[in-house]
Structure 1
Amino acid sequence: MAAHTPLPPNLRWGLAVFSSSLFINNKTWDSGVLASLPLQMMLYFNVYYFPVWCLAEGMMLQLKYHLLPWHYQFLLVTAFLILSLAEGSRLYLGYVGNLQEKVPELAGFLLLSFLIQLPLLLFLLTDSHVIRLPLEMAVHSLFLAFLVAEIVAAFLALKTMTKQLAAQFNLRQFKEGSRGRPGQGDTAGQAAEEG
């Protein structure tokens, strides 16, 4: 049962609109939510998995470091540092791009995933000269599974968001165009009446 409020309906509606615009930053109020729940779930679990991967990879790298030739020592340390630094920014861009429905951030997340993380992780998993330890294979395989699933989910979310933004843009252009037409029609009608 709803409680009776002493506020008039117009004032109550105005306050509701004002408070929602002030406290809720939801750009898709009229169009629905575009954020991808599967992508968000994978990002959430990846945030907790990333420190575990970092710790395990750091320990495995320390164990096999002296057994590798100097150029592989350099390659593995560089790959570890790039993966670690890129993963932090990648996860941040994924969160912002998905939750706030921002296309550039989500596109950045997708590019970092596909162009930096995926090749480096495949190098660590498939190069025959890297000494692969069982724990390392397990953590890299799980990280690769997260990465591939996130790439697919981000691609689908980005496709949905860009379609929705294009539709909103076209609708806005149509509304602006139809607003300009009556004014043009009135001037044409007035010119016909004068002539």
Structure 2
Amino acid sequence: MSVHTPLPSNVRHGLASISGSFFIQNKTRDCGESHSYHTGHEAVSSLPLQMALYFNVLFFPIWFVSEIIMLELKYHLLPGYYQFLLITAVTILTLIEVLRLYLGYIGNLHEKVPELAGFLLLTFLIQMPLILFLLTDEKIMILPLEFAVHSIYIIFLKAELLVSFFVLKIMTRQLATQFYLQRTDDLENLPTMVKMQHNRGGLTEQQERDVLMY
């Protein structure tokens, strides 16, 4: 059963291409005969990543409520531009977090490389800089509760970044291996298919030679 993904098809292809080019630099080394391949599918979903995502989902409402309460307490004490920055940061964090966690669940449980790559990029490029800004900028008057929830939040982000990186690496190499094995099977079956077509009169001798050379 196909799983709905919010990523457009062109974005999914782009993320898959980036993951492949990043993790598979040497096709001879990764796909050569020196490796022992298995035609059966091996589950590569990560239990540690799934546990981190699960507890992250439970913790996020606590972080959100705490941040709204703290923002309400200090809002009138902040300069106008910091009021705007804080509201913008919390809004972006909240919206991106929903999408990020959803992509993480789909990418890990259903072993989808584009979704997991999107999860990794959103974590590294958006969530991590924003939470570091909320945690380290002293001009926004960091309250003790804020420091506590931001510290826990950044621990989740760091753990998810580390684990998802290695999971994405394994998934990308397994996908490349499956493609290589499928390509090998197709090439091995070509002579039989050509012979059957030739016996039926479907291919000329010249066409048969061209296909076999390919």
Q: TM-score range by the shorter chain?
A: 0.7 to 0.9
Q: Tell me which amino acid in the other structure corresponds to 1:102.
A: K
> Which one-letter code corresponds to 1:117 in the other structure?
Q
The reply to whether residue 130 of structure 1 matches residue 140 of structure 2 is: yes
Paired residue total: 161
Q: Give the superposition deviation at 1:180.
A: 1.1
AA matched with 2:81: H
The structure having more radius of gyration, on CA atoms, is: 1
C-alpha deviations, 1:78-100, integer Å up to 9, x for none? Answer: 00000011111100000011001
* Residue 162 (structure 1) aligns with: 172
Distance in 2, Cα, partners of 1:154 & 1:100: 14
The separation in 2 between residues aligned to 1:109 and 1:183, in whole angstroms, is 42
Structure 2: unaligned runs, 5 residues or longer? 2-38, 199-204, 206-214
Corresponding residue of 1:148: 158
TM-score by length of 2: 0.72
2:51 to 41, 49, 52: 41
Aligned amino acid, residue 128 of structure 2: L
1:111 is aligned to: 121
Counterparts of 1:47 and 1:36 in 2: how far apart (Å)? 17
The structure with higher relative contact order (CA 8 Å, sep 6+) is: 2
2:152 corresponds to which letter in structure 1?
L
Q: Name the CA distance, whole Å, in 2 between partners of 1:135 and 1:183.
A: 69
Instruction: Show the counterpart of 1:83.
Output: 93
Deviation at 1:182, TM superposition (A): 4.6
TM-score (norm 1): 0.78
1:185: how far off?
A: 8.2
The Cα of 1:181 is off from its aligned counterpart by: 3.5
Per the alignment, in what secondary structure is the counterpart of residue 139 of structure 2?
Answer: coil
Could you tell me which residue of structure 1 aligns to residue 21 of structure 2?
A: none
How far residue 126 of structure 1 moved from its aligned partner, in angstroms, is: 1.1
Shift in Å, 1:30: 2.4
Task: Give SS of 2:138's match.
Answer: coil
User: In structure 2, how many angstroms separate the alpha carbons of the residues matched to 1:130 and 1:81?
Assistant: 16
Instruction: Give every structure 1 segment of 4 or more consecutive aligned residues whose post-TM-superposition deviation is greater than 3 Å.
Output: 181-187
Say yes or no: does 1:60 pair with 2:51: no
Q: 1:177 aligns to what?
A: 187
2:148 partner amino acid: A
- Structure 1 residue runs of 5 or longer lacking an equivalent are 1-21, 23-28
Q: Distance in 1 between matches of 2:175 and 2:75?
A: 49
Q: What does residue range 1-80 of structure 1 map to in structure 2 within 5 Å?
A: 30-80=40-90
Q: Separation in 2 of the partners of 1:155 and 1:68? A: 38
Shift of 1:43: 0.2
For 1:129, what is the secondary structure of its paired residue?
helix
Q: Percent identity?
A: 57
